Amino acid sequence: MTKVADNVNPHIYEKESEREITLEEHDENVVDEFDEREIFDLIRNINDPEHPLTLEELRVVEEKNISVDNKENVVHVNFTPTIPHCSMATLIGLSIRVQLLRALPSRFKVTVEVSEGTHVSEHAVNKQLADKERVAAALENNNLVQIINQCVAM
């Protein structure tokens, strides 16, 4: 039996244009810190687990819901499930977290949370995503890692 997606007909949004690279960014002598757009670029093309669409196209992730503090080494990402009872919320959050863990330097403390008020189990999902022991255990589960790798494959 094929599982029917939670949200069978999601709204699809326009993609952002590619980032414009400034002259300064080409200058090796200028310290180039991480900014929100860079984090966004790392996660915008993650595939939704249920649709052949990216998290950007579904507006699950948006640049305005990302914050970076290079001094404190903190990255915060809020994501917005397409519907409030989306059963894939934890998997989407885990995919974002895994992608950032793999791509960012280890000095960063990454927090991934559901945007406030956008999911029925917001608190439970956030608590689970914040528990690094559960995340570590999940990443030893080969089936789950395969699914995550399919999501983050670009």
Partner 1 sequence: MGKLELLQTLTGHKGIAWNVSWHPQGQVFASCGEDKMIKLWSKEGQEWTVKTVLVDGHQRTIREVAWSPCGNFLASASFDATTAIWDKKSGQFECNATLEGHENEVKSVAWSPSGQLLATCGRDKSVWVWEVAGEDEYECEAVLNAHNQDVKKVAWHPSLDILASASYDNTVKMYKEDSLDSDWSCIATLQSHESTVWSLAFDKTGERLATCSDDKTVKIWKEYKPDNQEGVIVSDRESVWKCVCTLSGYHTRCVYDITWCHKTGLIATACGDDIIRIFKEADDSDSNAPTFELVCTQLNAHSQDVNCVAWNPAGNEELLSCSDDGEIKIWKFSE
- Provide the binding-site residues for partner 1, judged by CB under 8 A: 106-107, 109, 127, 130-134, 136-137, 140
Residue whose CB is less far from partner 1, 21 or 136: 136
Q: How far is the CB of 7 from partner 1 (least distance, A)?
A: 28
Q: How far is the CB of 73 from partner 1 (least distance, A)?
A: 9
3-state secondary structure (DSSP) of residue 114: strand
Q: The tokens 């950032």 sit on which residue?
A: 100
Q: Which of 44, 37, 49 is nearest to 149 (CA)?
A: 49
Residue whose CB is less far from partner 1, 15 or 109: 109
Q: How far is the CB of 11 from partner 1 (least distance, A)?
A: 34
Residue whose CB is less far from partner 1, 37 or 134: 134
Residue whose CB is less far from partner 1, 141 or 149: 141
Residue 90's Cβ-count burial label (10 Å; 0-12, 13-18, 19+) is buried
How many contiguous H segments (helices) and E segments (strands) does the chain have?
A: 6, 3
